[in-house]
Amino acid sequence: MADHVEEIKSRIDLADLVREYLSLTNSGSNLKARCPFHQEKSASFMVSPAKQIWHCFGCSTGGDLFSFFMKIEGLEFGEALRILADRAGVVLERHDPRIQGEKNRLTALLDLASQYYHQALLRAPQAETARAYCAQRHLDGALIDTFRIGYALPEYEALNNFLLSRKFTMAEILAVGLAIKKDRGYGCYDRFRDRLIIPITNVHGSVIGFAGRVLTADDQGAKYINSPQTSLYDKGRTVFGLDRTKQEIRKRDAVILVEGYMDFFALYRAGDIHVAATSGTALTVDQIRLLKRFTQNFLFAFDADTAGGQATMRGIELALKEGCNVRVIQLPKDENGVPIYKDPDECVTHESAAWKSVVEQATSFVEYSFGRVITPVAQTDGFEKKKATRRLLEIIGLLPDRIEQDHWIRKLAATLSLSEAILWEELSKTKDRPGRIEASRQGVTPMVPTPHTSSDILMSLLLHRPQQFEQVSGRLEEVMLAGDHARSLYRMFSSFYTEHKNPDVVEDFFESTKKILPADRVQPYFFLAESSLGALSELDVPTVAKSLTEKIRQEYIKERLDLLRHRMNQAEKQNDTTALQEAMREFQIIQSL
């Protein structure tokens, strides 16, 4: 595996890959851009073509070719490896080419089917009702083309015959769920007939299945028919539209989650491009984890009916267990508290200003829960009050912040006329609260602080000019450096330099650090030297190294002397002669440095 990774990295230039997403400009021997992973006005995202690494000083993230591709595309390592191997022309030895060939054929079959459906919608005489339906639902030509919306002809074997004529087999057509075997006799018929067809794509944009919607209200069939579970299409792992909206979701650091395809299209058309839809299922953990690759801020905008409310609550709880920040968009209501519109599509279509308003006023999930759980009956009936209280305590228990918990405990006590002390006691009994999630389960990587001290700058300089270590080590000890990362690098320098006295060998120090220290410890120092010391001439380097060394020494000496003075004063006050003598001896040693 390591060989595959290195071969891929040798064939794909990091700067070329980054340019596909960002506009890079020169910055000395490096390249810079505005970071795609957080909002910033000035460029702090750096790429080193020489070292094939990147680092952002704004959000303290960095890495190599793979880490950038995984982060920008929201991929797991295995997915990134396969895609980049394909691009680099690297054959993954453990990969079965026969299976990959079969998968490629099925993917090509689905892509061809989506083109067939799309052309049928645009051109077929039988699609007149479908075209009228699109106009009625405000699905304009641009949106139809962007999402390749199509139409399934009413004939029983129209698609089957087309795909067979293109040299695909019936076994393959069945494998992707486009055909159904006849109950009696020999043969198969098309799964989708006389329906509007919506291609379902994976996060990379490949067609993996379809949704077929009825076109008339009097149709006796199901409103939607989705492709069945196949080797390519897993409903519980698919988020509709994410391939088109993932970059906007990342840019806005938020996703609006809707239930239906038409809700998705309505919001997309209205300019809310940070939207995604569940695909034929209630929201699953896998879908949440996929979305979390792009944002942890979820705005739920499900339908106004009872089922929509229940789905919202289930989705909220799952998202909270995964460590997400959750808000709920509540559709506009009349004076009696009844929703005016049944779903986001209807709201956006009839009153776009009202939609924008409810998005801006999205409430916290706890506020939403209070509104649903605390009914008039719960405020008066003892049994119902107990049920409502326990339900809300479960939800409050999901909150990781004690201050926020206190706010809602106070509100719950006031609303249901209960004692705060009793509520806190009941809350403490809640075991295994989903809100208490370790960072590792949330996929959170601790940030490495951006280096900026004199110690950091000196270590950065040594990364570029390791030959200066001999001069530095004569005046500097590890304990004098500020910060664990700087000290770690200093130990590496010391060990490496002791083993390799030849300056030419020391030039390889940067590569050696990557084998021992995490990349995110080393890379910020490499780029810091470029930004802080990039204008230095070779003649200036020894002088700057010496100046930084002396500054660090003096800072350390001053800090130690101040501390020892404090210790001596304390020892005098406490008449502790032994402690006083020890502090005085150390004071004299530090003064002599």
Three-state secondary structure call for residue 389: helix
CA distances from 59 to 49, 71, 257, 310, 433 (A): 21, 13, 26, 37, 30
Instruction: Specify the DSSP element, H or E, that contains 103.
Output: helix 97-123
Three-state secondary structure call for residue 419: coil
Contact 60, 449 (CB under 8 A): yes
Closest CA to 21 of 73, 66, 89: 73
Instruction: Judge whether residue 146 has pLDDT over 60.
Output: yes
Residue carrying structure tokens 């909206």: 245
Three-state secondary structure call for residue 256: strand
The mean pLDDT of 313-327, rounded to a whole number, is 82
Task: Measure the CA–CA gap between 24 and 250, rounded to whole angstroms.
Answer: 19
> For residue 223, is it left (φ>0), alpha (ψ between -120 and 50) or beta?
alpha
Specify burial of residue 380 (Cβ count, 10 A radius: 0-12, 13-18, 19+). Answer: exposed
Expressed in angstroms, the distance from the first to the final Cα of the chain is 51
What six digits make up the tokens of 402?
């004690």
Instruction: Judge whether residue 32 has pLDDT over 80.
Output: yes
What six digits make up the tokens of 294?
């792009």
Name the residue type at position 224: Y
pTM exceeds 0.95 for this model:
no
**Average predicted confidence (pLDDT) for the chain:** 83
**pLDDT on residue 436:** 36
Q: Which residues contact 490 (CB under 8 A, 6 or more apart)?
A: 459, 476, 478, 481
**pLDDT on residue 216:** 84
What six digits make up the tokens of 102?
């079969």
Residue 539 has φ and ψ, to the nearest 5°, of -70, -25
**pLDDT on residue 509:** 59
Instruction: Judge whether residue 582 has pLDDT over 60.
Output: yes
Name the residue type at position 493: F
Q: What is the DSSP letter of 328?
A: E
- pLDDT band for position 444 (cuts 50, 70, 90): very low
CA distances from 504 to 293, 460, 467, 494 (A): 42, 18, 9, 16
Name the residue type at position 243: D
Chain centre distance of CA 370: 29
Instruction: Judge whether residue 448 has pLDDT over 60.
Output: no
SS3 of 512-577: the string is HHHHHCCHHHHHHHHHHHHHHHCCCCCCCHHHHHHHHHHHHHHHHHHHHHHHHHHHHHHHHHCCCH
Residue 196 has φ and ψ, to the nearest 5°, of -70, 130
Name the residue type at position 480: M
Task: Measure the CA–CA gap between 541 and 572, rounded to whole angstroms.
Answer: 47
**pLDDT on residue 447:** 33
pLDDT by residue (tens digit) across 282-310? 788 889 988 988 888 999 987 777 556 67
Query: Between 402-416 and 382-396, two packed helices, what is the crossing angle to 10 degrees?
Result: 170
The mean pLDDT of 107-133, rounded to a whole number, is 97
pLDDT by residue (tens digit) across 372-431? 888 888 888 888 888 999 989 988 887 766 787 889 999 999 999 888 888 988 888 764
**pLDDT on residue 185:** 73
**pLDDT on residue 11:** 86
pLDDT by residue (tens digit) across 522-549? 677 777 766 555 556 667 778 888 888 8
**pLDDT on residue 132:** 96
207 DSSP β-pair partners: 201
**pLDDT on residue 354:** 92
Output 520 or 138, whichever has higher pLDDT.
Answer: 138
CA geometry: angle 184, 106, 228, nearest 5 deg: 50
Residue 331 has φ and ψ, to the nearest 5°, of -65, 150
**pLDDT on residue 520:** 58
**pLDDT on residue 531:** 58
Highest mean pLDDT among 123-127, 203-207, 319-323, 531-535: 123-127
Task: Measure the CA–CA gap between 352 and 270, rounded to whole angstroms.
Answer: 8
DSSP secondary structure string for all residues of 104-167? HHHHHHHHHHHHHHHHHHHH-GGGHHHHHHHHHTT--HHHHHHTT-EEE-SSTTHHHHHHHHTT
Give the start-end residues of each E strand in 309-425: 325-328, 363-364
CA distances from 273 to 207, 243, 247, 533 (A): 20, 11, 9, 42
